[in-house]
Structure 1
Amino acid sequence: MCGIVGIIGLLEVNSSTILTSISHRGPDSQGFFQEGELFLGHTRLSIQDLSENGNQPMFSKDGRFVIVFNGEIYNHLEIRQSLGEFDFKSSGDTETVLYAYIKHGIECLSMFNGIFSFSVFDLHTKELFIARDHFGVKPLYLYQDEHLFLFSSEIKTFLSLPIQKDLDNEALMNYLSYLWSPGEKTPFKLVKKLLPGHYLKFNISEFQQAKPISFYQPNLDGEHLQDTEEELINQLDQLLIQAVDRQMLSDVPVGFFLSGGLDSTLLVAIAKKIYPERKFPCFTIDIDSQNSKMEDFADDLVYATKAADFLEVDLHIVKATIDIVDSFDQMIWHLDEPQADAAPINVLNIAKLAREKGIKVLIGGTGGDDLFSGYRRHQALLLESILRKIPNGIRQLLKHIIGILPIKSALFRRIRKISENMDLSPTARMKGYFKWLSSERIYSLFSKSIQQELNGYDPSLYFDELLLQIPQEKSVLNQMLYWELKTFLVDHNLNYTDKMGMAVGVEIRVPFLDVLLVEFAQKLPPEMKMKGKETKYLLKKVAERYLPKEIIYRPKTGFGAPVRKWITEDMSDMLEQRLSKSNIEKQGIFDYDAVWKLINDNKENKIDASYPIWAILAIDSWINQFSLRKYEI
């Protein structure tokens, strides 16, 4: 795992400054290639072939092609066998990717089962090829104006270059709506995320015309597997074994996240089945039990300890003692985006301890909920058949009555969340489960000039566009899971998973996003994902072969922190200082009165808005660090 960067349009590049900006991603070595106005840079985290033969940029034997690569191709040894005519100098996957591209061109992407962002330059034709993996496990950002084209694993690489820093206020509305920004948008208007499963290929003299092209689209066509339940359990079991085994590929020690939840625990259990003699180092978080009850988290540590004892693995416990005021800006800096969640801090702290213990690779359960239905909003879909039969007038009345319920209780918060959109259409209700505030309230938070610029912008229209990609899929659960895959998973979970691990030079792998496993999950009948109220039904049936039922059927929990307590108590002074009238008016983004009405309404328990308030602070921190360069981490 590494950091990559590319620049077109500058004859002089300060390579030291550029590579230092992503040196945390690759602390083992760094290098660059420059020809005219093209610069390719790389910082390496050595995972496969630890020798200098694996260093990058890497050239083909004839010197015609050069590659910078970030990621892991888990089936690269199989691919290498089909590339027998090439003389390999290394045992790593970078060289496999290079020669697969030389031989197969764009078609090589369909061969890769792994996580990647990479670029290959042809010194003869002057063509540059850039690609990002199927599901967006590895990040890649693009900047493009009439004079300059850039790409990098992280936005912060661009900050020392002569880029235009105009803000994208539609993206800021995205972050306030969802706590993350779905699709291409980032806070910089000219910086875009290369979408998962997309590539670019262009002559570097014509970079202004470069446009991303899709190479992979999940196949949700309404056709589902007809196998028996037992046959599906067997198939899923074998795919999980294959995925875990593939992702154990490493020349350095491998560790595991072990929360005590189903997904991470099952992966450890499968690894133990494959390698029974190994005692894998595992890592978990000890969240303060009092705060976890306030935030409706189950006590993970009890289950993690039970799982570790059952599986006979070493469990390293990270105390979740966080000074959020001191940690906040650092977290936003590493995230590259103003995401509003505290879970990244837990990932960062686990990765730090793993690195201290000599672990460069961690395997985690990210993606299990998104493939097999593990979120409460999926259970909320069970109400659809009832809501569709209730006249709209009665739904509006129910919404009003439920809106009076107090929100101190986690149960009442969830009921109010479900009721907020019950008077809308079924699709609008589904979209509403992803939002934290109404569009009207979010608009009110912006200054008058930005309200005019937004001019009715609706972030949820992106979700409608996604549904147009799967017109044959009629299952509302599968439609929502498609949204998860295309938005929440990639733009929230995977972004912070990658960034927090790589902040300390730790690669985090996600076996649930093995390409073959994802394609199998998408063909499952919806009732094999959620049967009645039981989420992840088929996955749990597989887990029964490996784990005690008390771990499989334990209460659902999040990988979070006491955000509501932090916002209303610990961060009060921070709110007063950073969201003061003078600061807000100087920045020109938000409306002071609207912001403070939201803060006070939240403190008085009139509304559950701690996370959107966190988003406002995150945007403020991001602007000061990335746009104004006011803070230095």
Structure 2
Amino acid sequence: MCGINGIIGLEDTQKGHDLVMTMNRAIAHRGPDDSGVFAEPNIALGQNRLSIIDLSAAGHQPMLSFDGNEMLIFNGEIYNYRELKQELSDYPYATHTDSEVILAAYKRWGTDCVHHFNGMFAFAIWDKAKQELFIARDRLGIKPLYYYQKDQMLLFSSEIRALLKSGYVPRKIDKVSLGDYLQYQTVHAPQTMVADVFMLLPGHMMLVRHGKASIKQYWSPENNFSDRAASQSYSEVKREVNHLLLKAVERRLVADVPFGAFLSGGIDSSIIVGLMSQGAAHQVKTFSVSFEEEEFSEAKYAAAIARKFKTQHTEIKLRPEDFLELIPAALQDMDHPSGDGPNTFVVSKVTKEAGITMALSGLGGDELFSGYDVFQRLLGLRRFAWLDAVPLFVRRAAGASLSKFRPGVASNKIEQLLQLPEWSLDQVYSISRQMLDKGYIAGLTGGNILAANKVQQIVAGSLLKNRGNSDALPFLSQVSIAEMHTYMQNVLLRDTDQMSMAHALEVRVPFLDYELVEYVLGVPDKFKYPHTPKKLLVDSIGELLPPEIVNRPKMGFTLPWKEWLRSELYSFCEAKLNNLAKRDLLNAAAVFGLWQSFISQDPTVTWARVWYLVVLENWLEKNGIE
């Protein structure tokens, strides 16, 4: 796990070296164990190393191939590197790292090497003979890669802040992306909040030669799901899920540093800990953050799992006030604005301080096994498809009445649904995940920057690409893919990376093992229907979890945000919103109107609809974005 930087197209070797050194320093937090730079005319590569596998100096990067032709920089982990090393045994290895296996694989298969990797990664290989730069990102988008291109020159990095530090990237906001952020509290890749800075999409590779960059997709969930489960019995499906999940966890236990697991006491993290206890050679270390207030604490559930699997458990007790004190630091370490993130920052901080360098997480379980309420809602709405036959003016009148007599976020979304000409998945899903509707955004922006709905475009596009026919996918798997391409990749995974790496902590996510993902996406709805939380997942692991964990209410990581914004964070929020209102980006009256509606407890304005504007202004100020 590391941070990587590079530039191609700059002839001055010393200038390229110094530039990448500057970029390395900007993201030194990602790799405190080592740092290196390689430079020659036209190419400069750099890396900050967080040592996880082979802690010796032999793992230094940039890493040169045995014959001196290829140079590698790599962020992430290749979990099947030992198997690949046996398959590629003719390569004269000088280290025990997974990094060197990437070089061996490139020697054998060229750019097709990505199809052989099981892991999370973003890497770049400079091929001296071809004078070609090869960049690739993992299938699910666990590790980030940002880039900026101007004329014949391309810069890339693990974080936007390094690109900004280069001095080549104009610090200007992308106004279309601002509209996306206002709708969904994030910017969906490949765009970012910075104009002309892009994110390489998951499952994509880039080739740069003679100043020209070409991008190619090599994997996507909608085109790579397995058909095996369609002809299997429920018992066979459960056995396969159990096998693939256990295999995914075992792969992620390979490390030469102390490791542990985040344990909330929920189904996903508890399963990961239970499977770790079966596969780990040593006692598993688990970490949970708890609160004295019962309404916010999941401590008793985490403690029950820790006792059952005899883990070395660390419960970090925080008062909400303690968490509150860490918010400024979390905002400071936010590489890209997001309405979420501080929760992961706090858990990562206390885990790292306990001496852990790598931790497993239950992220991805809800997206893959239909755990969110959105799965139930969309499945339920599908049964009301007959409403399409009701005249549109009747539906609109019904929706307006509901919003008037029962004001609130839920009623507002129902009103939007009733106004749709038809209930296609892309349109319904895009409404279910939005933060502010078009009316609010039009008021905030004066109607000037709201482009087409990005989530709707992404979901519609992914389903069209699905073998030319979205019906080939079970409906719940279509919702899973919508989640993966939008909320999971652009909020959860990006926040997890930036907030954990702020503390040089590697987070591994077994539920996003691509072999498990490919199989579960092909499982029929009748086996996944969520009449109980994540039924297929729970049934697949048998009696691994006690009933009190399986049947407990879903809590999530909740904190008294709405109270904070009206008390301890009031002055901070108001100051940031004042500054945001002074910019030409948004309508000042609308910004203040939203704030006052929240303060006066308007049910249609939740704390999250204010907080992400505060985060936006803080990020703009910190990075000097115009």
* TM-score for both structures, normalised by structure 1: 0.91
Which of the residues 175, 182, 202 maps onto 2:188?
182
Which of the residues 538, 556, 559 maps onto 2:557?
559
Which of the residues 60, 67, 70 maps onto 1:65?
70
> Matches of 1:62 and 1:45 in 2, distance apart?
26
The answer to which of 178-187 and 239-248 deviates more is 178-187
Any idea what SS the aligned residue of 2:133 has?
strand
Q: Does 1:550 align with 2:548?
A: yes
2:219 aligns to what?
A: 216
2:586 aligns to what?
A: 590
Residues 56/420 of structure 1: CA separation in 2 closer, same or farther (3 Å cut): same
Q: Does 1:107 align with 2:104?
A: no
> Matches of 1:491 and 1:460 in 2, distance apart?
14
1:611 aligns to what?
A: 608
Q: Give, as a single letter, the amino acid of the residue that structure 2 aligns with 1:600.
A: Q
> Matches of 2:399 and 2:305 in 1, distance apart?
42
Please show how residues 73-92 of structure 1 align to structure 2 within 5 Å. Answer: 73-92=78-97
1:19 aligns to what?
A: 24
2:570 aligns to what?
A: 572
Q: Does 1:350 align with 2:356?
A: no
Alignment RMSD, CA only? 2.3
Equivalent residues of 1:445, 1:590 under 8 A apart: yes
Q: Give, as a single letter, the amino acid of the residue that structure 2 aligns with 1:497.
A: T
The answer to which of 394-403 and 184-193 deviates more is 394-403
Any idea what SS the aligned residue of 1:225 has?
helix
1:599 aligns to what?
A: 595
Residues 180/453 of structure 1: CA separation in 2 closer, same or farther (3 Å cut): closer
1:146 aligns to what?
A: 151
Equivalent residues of 1:325, 1:574 under 8 A apart: no
Q: Give, as a single letter, the amino acid of the residue that structure 2 aligns with 1:173.
A: G
CA displacement at 1:4 relative to structure 2? 0.3
> Matches of 2:455 and 2:176 in 1, distance apart?
8
Residues 38/560 of structure 1: CA separation in 2 closer, same or farther (3 Å cut): farther
User: For 1:574-622, what per-residue CA distance to the aligned partner results, in whole angstroms no more than 9, with x for missing partners?
Assistant: 2322222xx3454211111001111122233331332121121111111
Q: Give, as a single letter, the amino acid of the residue that structure 1 aligns with 2:317.
A: K
Residues 548/386 of structure 1: CA separation in 2 closer, same or farther (3 Å cut): same
Any idea what SS the aligned residue of 1:284 has?
strand
1:476 aligns to what?
A: 475
2:377 aligns to what?
A: 380
CA displacement at 1:169 relative to structure 2? 1.1
> Matches of 1:373 and 1:239 in 2, distance apart?
18
CA displacement at 1:183 relative to structure 2? 2.4
User: For 1:136-162, what per-residue CA distance to the aligned partner results, in whole angstroms no more than 9, with x for missing partners?
Assistant: 000110111125311110011012222
User: For 1:280-330, what per-residue CA distance to the aligned partner results, in whole angstroms no more than 9, with x for missing partners?
Assistant: 1101121463664xxxxxx42221111111111122122344567764453
> What is the aligned length?
607
Any idea what SS the aligned residue of 1:131 has?
strand
Q: Does 1:622 align with 2:619?
A: yes
> Matches of 1:478 and 1:437 in 2, distance apart?
26
Equivalent residues of 1:56, 1:67 under 8 A apart: yes
Any idea what SS the aligned residue of 2:260 has?
strand
Equivalent residues of 2:139, 2:202 under 8 A apart: yes
> Matches of 1:576 and 1:440 in 2, distance apart?
23
Any idea what SS the aligned residue of 2:386 has?
coil
Q: Give, as a single letter, the amino acid of the residue that structure 2 aligns with 1:384.
A: L
Any idea what SS the aligned residue of 2:231 has?
coil
User: For 1:69-119, what per-residue CA distance to the aligned partner results, in whole angstroms no more than 9, with x for missing partners?
Assistant: 011110011111111111101111000011101111011111000000000
Equivalent residues of 2:582, 2:588 under 8 A apart: no
Which of the residues 448, 452, 459 maps onto 1:452?
448
1:436 aligns to what?
A: 435
Equivalent residues of 1:27, 1:45 under 8 A apart: yes
1:493 aligns to what?
A: 492
Equivalent residues of 2:402, 2:415 under 8 A apart: yes
CA displacement at 1:496 relative to structure 2? 1.1
Percent identity over the alignment is 32
Q: Does 1:467 align with 2:466?
A: no
2:339 aligns to what?
A: 340
2:259 aligns to what?
A: 254
The answer to which of 605-614 and 80-89 deviates more is 605-614
CA displacement at 1:414 relative to structure 2? 4.8
Q: Give, as a single letter, the amino acid of the residue that structure 2 aligns with 1:93.
A: D
> Matches of 1:499 and 1:455 in 2, distance apart?
27
Residues 222/314 of structure 1: CA separation in 2 closer, same or farther (3 Å cut): closer
> Matches of 1:112 and 1:405 in 2, distance apart?
55
The answer to which of 260-269 and 307-316 deviates more is 307-316
> Matches of 1:325 and 1:245 in 2, distance apart?
36
2:510 aligns to what?
A: 511
> Matches of 2:363 and 2:581 in 1, distance apart?
40
Any idea what SS the aligned residue of 2:567 has?
helix
Residues 171/291 of structure 1: CA separation in 2 closer, same or farther (3 Å cut): farther
> Matches of 1:117 and 1:222 in 2, distance apart?
25
Equivalent residues of 1:222, 1:472 under 8 A apart: no
> Matches of 1:418 and 1:122 in 2, distance apart?
54
Equivalent residues of 1:17, 1:160 under 8 A apart: yes
> Matches of 1:541 and 1:458 in 2, distance apart?
36
Any idea what SS the aligned residue of 2:162 has?
helix
Equivalent residues of 1:222, 1:473 under 8 A apart: no
* TM-score for both structures, normalised by structure 2: 0.92
The answer to which of 584-593 and 415-424 deviates more is 415-424
Residues 355/290 of structure 1: CA separation in 2 closer, same or farther (3 Å cut): closer
Which of the residues 273, 276, 281 maps onto 1:271?
276
> Matches of 1:322 and 1:45 in 2, distance apart?
32
1:164 aligns to what?
A: 170
Any idea what SS the aligned residue of 1:239 has?
helix
CA displacement at 1:431 relative to structure 2? 1.8
Residues 361/325 of structure 1: CA separation in 2 closer, same or farther (3 Å cut): closer
Residues 287/473 of structure 1: CA separation in 2 closer, same or farther (3 Å cut): farther
Residues 515/509 of structure 1: CA separation in 2 closer, same or farther (3 Å cut): same
Q: Does 1:133 align with 2:129?
A: no
The answer to which of 431-440 and 39-48 deviates more is 431-440
Q: Give, as a single letter, the amino acid of the residue that structure 2 aligns with 1:84.
A: S
Equivalent residues of 2:173, 2:194 under 8 A apart: yes
> Matches of 1:47 and 1:149 in 2, distance apart?
29
Equivalent residues of 2:26, 2:162 under 8 A apart: yes
1:282 aligns to what?
A: 286
CA displacement at 1:132 relative to structure 2? 0.3
Q: Does 1:202 align with 2:200?
A: no
Equivalent residues of 1:60, 1:66 under 8 A apart: yes
Equivalent residues of 1:422, 1:429 under 8 A apart: no
> Matches of 2:308 and 2:410 in 1, distance apart?
34
> Matches of 1:362 and 1:398 in 2, distance apart?
49
Equivalent residues of 1:405, 1:416 under 8 A apart: no
Q: Give, as a single letter, the amino acid of the residue that structure 2 aligns with 1:380.
A: R
> Matches of 1:243 and 1:511 in 2, distance apart?
5
Equivalent residues of 2:76, 2:143 under 8 A apart: yes
2:298 aligns to what?
A: 300
Q: Does 1:540 align with 2:538?
A: yes
> Matches of 1:453 and 1:430 in 2, distance apart?
22
Residues 125/305 of structure 1: CA separation in 2 closer, same or farther (3 Å cut): same
